[in-house]
Every structure is written in structure tokens, then in C-alpha cells.
């Protein structure tokens, strides 16, 4: 494993360029990037997550554009000049409701991105190329294979690339190995949206998320039914990111770092006037978890209103406006980062109580719908959080393993029927 839990959690932002959004790669202006990074460094952040648009970097299966790779290196260098480290996502993939898939995978050239041997070979060559181009830069953190690429593998995607659990695992292992070949010793991982935790039959599973790669990544979005059900101030809403971190730890090896890689305050479920409060509560709750690598907020800068057809909520998720003016949520995240540096932020707590989770086979998790908003397990865990109980999660198959429980410091096991009143945590 290349990842270690840092002395204190890191704070950063998913970089959304203020000029041109991710289309900035088409009209690349390094000075615009520098100004964006200046605005993030001034908040006291220490890293950014950068996204390469896959069709622009690898427009043909056998062509990886050298100029695009060079520009990516310039972005990483510009960040380093401002004290920012950089994690890079390769297979974009999916961003803010838009898919970016190269033409050699679509329509007349339709092929499966997870199972076609020539496609997987091309993807491996691409991620290895990016990793090797950045390997010598001291501020390069490592690679994430792509942003929530699991959404391509299953419903509700309108044109999915179906694969099995076994095929998903082989795909992850193959591409992670390519990243490691390109940049040995860096932090290489993968990311999924929450179908991985909640959707029965989904080929990407909690075991994949929590055991493959150097670190577990969590993407926490309260628009997944949580805030709709429990309201802005409901315990399940403000503890969702903490819940997902603890849920992942049920599958993970002891001490595996967890990175809250995406979290945001989506309006109108989190109104703009309450976004700063949501930032503070969410981050404080996550900091109560052990082994947290860092918090990377979605996103750095608002999407300009000059760009069309985004879902309404996507325009206002930034820590700063598209004119680089700091918003209240940006100040709140910067303040939390300062508190962590000063040693005045909440510290991890001992979770002596754990809720037992039964999803059937731990590898494929056929019963994972109980973990989703409205599911019995989700609601019971949220009820405990509302009562002030910082609960861990233990898989049913490990509930009788005294050594494992002792290693995690767990002294009390509860099951869902032990938690009364679990169907409603707050009113919207």
C-alpha cells in the first residue's frame, strides 16, 4: 500500500476551471489556471483534484496527444508553485451530468469499456502514460482511474457497458497496476458514485471500493434521497459523509485510509444561505472518523451561467464564484482547514458501539439496498447519530470474531431491531 494516514487530514477542492469549465483544455490558458490556483491557495487549501477529458487526451485508441499531456504537466507545476499538491483523474468519463467518452467507443464503433480487450489495453496505456509523465513531480499525489466510472456499467445509465462483478474487479486491478507502473509509490485509486454501496446487483461493490487501490474514496451527495427524506438539518443529512466513511470501513483492512473525495452542498436541498453551516457540520462529523486522509470539496469554482444545459444545482456548487469571489462555503472550508492545522478541530473518537450489517455475501453484497436512504440499516444508523451515538459498522459475518472486534475497539454490537424509531429522523 502506498497510502498512509497523514498527521492531520488534508483539505482541498475538485478543480473546476473558472474559465470554460472542463472545456478549458480546448482553449488552454495557463494564466487562467494560475489565477484559479491562487484563489484556492488563499483559502488555505493544500491540494486539488484535476480532471483530464478523456476524448481530448486520447481521441483515437492508438493516439495519446502529447500536447495534452504536456498541458497537464503545466497544470501540476502551476499548482506546485502555489503549494498545492495534485491528484489526477484520467477517464473522464462523467462530470456534472455530461459524459465524455471517446468516439472510438460509441455509435459505429460501439465497444464495452470494461470488457473489450483492445479497449482495456488502450485505457491501461493511457493511464500509465499520464502517471509516468507526472511521476517525477514532487507535488503529484497519484491517479484516480476516473470520476465515478461505475455509472457506465449499469442502470440508470441510458446506454450502459454491462459487466459482471468479476469483470469489474479485473478491470480495476488491470488499470491500477498500470498506474503503479507509470508512477511507482504514488497514491493510486478509483472512485464510484454511491450505487456501489446501495444498489443490489451493481457490478462495482463495497469490497472493490474498500479493498482495491491504495485508499478508499467516498463521494457523498445528500441529493441521493437523504435530504429529500430527512431535510436539511436531519441527522442523516449532516452525518451522511460520516456514515459512508464508516460503512466503507466494514469491508476494509484495519487502518486503510479513507478519502472524502467529493462532497458538496447542493441547492435547493441545502439553500445557499445555509451552505456554510452544512460545510462545517459535515466536515466536523467526518473528522470524528479514524483514518481520514482528507476532504476534497466539490467544487472549486462555480460553473459560469454562460454555459448551457447543466442541471440547475451544478451552477452554484463552488467554493468561489466563477469570478473567483470567495463564497460563504469557501470561507467555512478554509476556516475548518485552519482549525485542523491549529489543532482545534474535532479529533477522531473511539467507536465502541457498532451496528451489525447483513448484506448477504460480503463480496457481492446482494442485500446492500438496506444501506440506502430509507433502508432499515441506513435509518437505524441515522437514528443512533441523532441520539449522539458515534456508531461503527460491522459485517454480520465478522460479528462473532472477537479478535477483529477488539482490534477495532468495538465493545457493543447492536442490530437494526435494537434501534427503535428508525423510520424518521427529522422533518424537512
Please state, as a whole number, how many other Cβ atoms lie within 10 Å of the Cβ of residue 335. Answer: 17
Q: What CATH number does residue 223 fall under? A: 3.20.20.80
Same domain, 277 and 396: no
Which position has the grid cell 472486534?
405
Same domain, 291 and 399: no
> Is the CB of residue 93 less than 8 Å from the CB of residue 146?
yes
Is residue 426 assigned to a domain? Answer: no
> Is the CB of residue 245 less than 8 Å from the CB of residue 218?
yes
Query: Of 3-7, 180-184, 216-220, 407-411, where does mean pLDDT reach its minimum?
Result: 3-7
CA atoms within 13 A on the CB side of 335: 13
> Is the CB of residue 47 less than 8 Å from the CB of residue 87?
yes
pLDDT at residue number 2: 67
Domain holding 368, by residue range, is 353-418
Q: How far apart are CA 201 and CA 364, in angstroms?
A: 8
pLDDT over 90 percentage in the chain: 96
Q: How far apart are CA 427 and CA 422, in angstroms?
A: 13
pLDDT at residue number 418: 95
Q: How far apart are CA 73 and CA 156, in angstroms?
A: 35
- Does 356 have pLDDT greater than 50? yes
Is residue 198 assigned to a domain? Answer: yes
Same domain, 267 and 393: no
Report how many domains make up the chain. 2
Same domain, 324 and 388: no
Mean pLDDT of the chain: 96
- Does 119 have pLDDT greater than 60? yes
- Angle (CA) 49-53-56 rounded to 5° is 145
With CA atoms as reference, report the closest residue to 43 among 335, 341, 334: 334
- Angle (CA) 101-107-111 rounded to 5° is 65
Alpha helices by DSSP H, 49-102? 54-57, 66-81
Is residue 425 assigned to a domain? Answer: no
pLDDT at residue number 390: 97
Cell of 367: 442485500
Same domain, 116 and 231: yes
- Does 423 have pLDDT greater than 60? no
Which position has the grid cell 462545517?
280
pLDDT at residue number 425: 34
> Is the CB of residue 56 less than 8 Å from the CB of residue 22?
no
> Is the CB of residue 395 less than 8 Å from the CB of residue 211?
no
Q: How far apart are CA 15 and CA 25, in angstroms?
A: 13
Return the SS3 of 26: coil
Q: From residue 153, how far is each of 131, 159, 235, 341 by CA, in Å?
A: 24, 9, 32, 40
pLDDT, one tens digit per residue, over 196-213 is 999 999 999 999 999 999
Same domain, 194 and 318: yes
pLDDT over 70 percentage in the chain: 97
Return the SS3 of 268: coil
> Is the CB of residue 14 less than 8 Å from the CB of residue 6?
no
Same domain, 201 and 73: yes
> Is the CB of residue 421 less than 8 Å from the CB of residue 277?
no
Same domain, 364 and 308: no
Of 300, 315, 342, the residue at which a domain comes to its end is 342
Q: How far apart are CA 413 and CA 128, in angstroms?
A: 44
Cis preceding-peptide flag for 119 (omega within 30 of 0): no
Same domain, 404 and 331: no
> Is the CB of residue 232 less than 8 Å from the CB of residue 269?
yes
> Is the CB of residue 27 less than 8 Å from the CB of residue 314?
no
Is residue 267 assigned to a domain? Answer: yes
Q: From residue 360, how far is each of 24, 272, 328, 404, 415 by CA, in Å?
A: 46, 40, 43, 19, 15
Cell of 137: 513531480
Same domain, 38 and 168: yes
Same domain, 247 and 317: yes
Same domain, 360 and 241: no
Is residue 170 assigned to a domain? Answer: yes
With CA atoms as reference, report the closest residue to 305 among 92, 96, 18, 22: 18
- 98-99 and 412-414 beta bridge pairing: unpaired
Cell of 159: 446506454
Is residue 334 assigned to a domain? Answer: yes
pLDDT, one tens digit per residue, over 260-304 is 999 999 999 999 999 999 999 999 999 999 999 999 999 999 999
Whole-model pTM: value is: 0.96
Q: What mean pLDDT comes out for the span 157-185?
A: 97
pLDDT, one tens digit per residue, over 357-385 is 999 999 999 999 999 999 999 999 999 99
Of the chain, the end-to-end C-alpha distance in Å amounts to 43
Q: What mean pLDDT comes out for the span 397-425?
A: 86
Q: How confident is the model at residue 421 (pLDDT cuts 50, 70, 90)?
A: low
Of 298, 323, 342, the residue at which a domain comes to its end is 342
Is residue 5 assigned to a domain? Answer: no
> Is the CB of residue 127 less than 8 Å from the CB of residue 90?
yes
Q: How far apart are CA 17 and CA 21, in angstroms?
A: 5
Of 321, 342, 363, the residue at which a domain comes to its end is 342
Helix (H) / strand (E) element for 48: namely strand 47-53
pLDDT at residue number 427: 29
Amino acid at each position: 500500500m502506498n497510502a498512509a494516514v497523514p498527521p492531520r487530514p488534508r483539505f482541498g477542492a475538485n478543480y473546476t476551471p473558472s474559465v470554460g469549465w472542463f472545456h478549458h483544455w480546448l482553449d488552454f490558458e495557463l494564466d487562467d489556471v494560475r489565477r484559479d490556483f491562487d484563489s484556492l491557495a488563499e483559502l488555505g487549501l493544500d491540494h486539488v483534484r484535476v480532471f483530464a477529458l478523456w476524448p481530448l487526451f486520447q481521441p483515437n485508441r492508438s493516439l495519446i496527444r502529447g500536447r495534452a499531456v504536456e498541458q497537464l504537466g503545466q497544470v501540476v507545476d502551476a499548482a506546485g508553485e502555489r503549494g498545492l499538491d495534485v491528484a489526477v483523474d484520467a477517464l473522464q468519463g462523467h462530470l456534472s451530468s455530461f459524459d465524455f467518452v471517446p468516439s472510438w467507443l460509441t455509435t459505429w464503433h460501439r465497444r464495452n469499456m470494461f470488457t473489450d480487450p483492445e479497449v482495456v489495453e488502450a485505457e491501461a496505456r493511457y493511464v500509465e502514460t499520464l502517471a509516468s509523465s507526472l511521476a517525477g513531480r514532487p507535488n503529484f499525489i497519484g491517479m484516480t482511474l476516473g470520476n465515478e466510472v461505475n455509472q457506465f456499467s449499469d442502470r440508470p445509465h441510458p446506454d450502459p457497458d454491462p459487466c459482471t462483478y468479476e469483470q469489474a474487479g479485473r478491470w480495476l486491478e488491470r488499470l491500477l497496476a498500470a498506474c503503479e507502473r507509470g508512477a511507482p509509490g504514488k497514491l493510486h485509486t478509483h472512485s464510484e458514485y454511491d450505487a456501489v454501496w446501495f444498489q443490489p446487483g451493481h457490478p462495482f461493490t463495497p469490497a472493490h471500493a474498500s479493498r482495491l487501490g491504495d485508499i478508499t474514496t467516498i463521494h457523498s451527495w445528500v441529493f441521493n434521497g437523504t435530504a429529500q427524506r430527512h431535510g436539511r438539518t436531519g441527522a442523516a443529512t449532516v452525518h451522511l459523509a460520516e456514515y459512508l466513511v464508516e460503512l466503507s470501513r466494514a469491508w476494509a483492512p484495519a487502518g486503510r485510509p479513507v478519502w472524502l473525495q467529493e462532497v458538496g452542498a447542493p441547492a435547493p436541498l441545502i439553500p445557499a444561505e445555509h451552505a456554510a453551516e452544512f460545510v462545517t457540520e459535515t466536515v466536523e462529523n467526518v473528522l470524528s472518523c479514524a483514518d481520514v486522509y482528507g476532504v476534497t470539496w466539490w467544487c472549486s469554482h462555480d460553473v459560469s451561467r454562460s454555459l448551457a444545459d447543466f442541471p440547475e444545482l451544478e451552477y452554484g456548487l463552488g467554493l468561489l464564484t466563477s469570478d473567483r469571489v470567495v463564497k460563504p462555503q469557501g470561507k467555512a472550508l478554509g476556516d475548518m482547514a485552519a482549525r485542523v492545522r491549529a489543532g482545534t478541530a474535532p479529533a477522531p473518537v473511539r467507536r465502541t458501539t457498532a451496528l451489525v450489517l447483513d448484506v448477504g455475501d460480503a463480496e457481492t453484497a446482494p442485500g446492500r439496498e438496506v444501506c440506502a436512504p430509507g433502508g432499515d440499516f441506513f435509518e437505524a444508523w441515522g437514528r443512533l447519530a441523532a441520539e449522539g451515538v458515534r456508531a461503527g459498522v460491522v459485517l454480520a459475518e465478522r460479528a462473532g470474531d472477537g479478535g477483529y472486534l477488539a482490534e477495532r475497539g468495538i465493545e457493543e454490537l447492536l442490530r437494526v431491531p435494537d434501534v427503535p424509531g428508525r423510520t424518521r429522523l427529522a422533518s424537512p
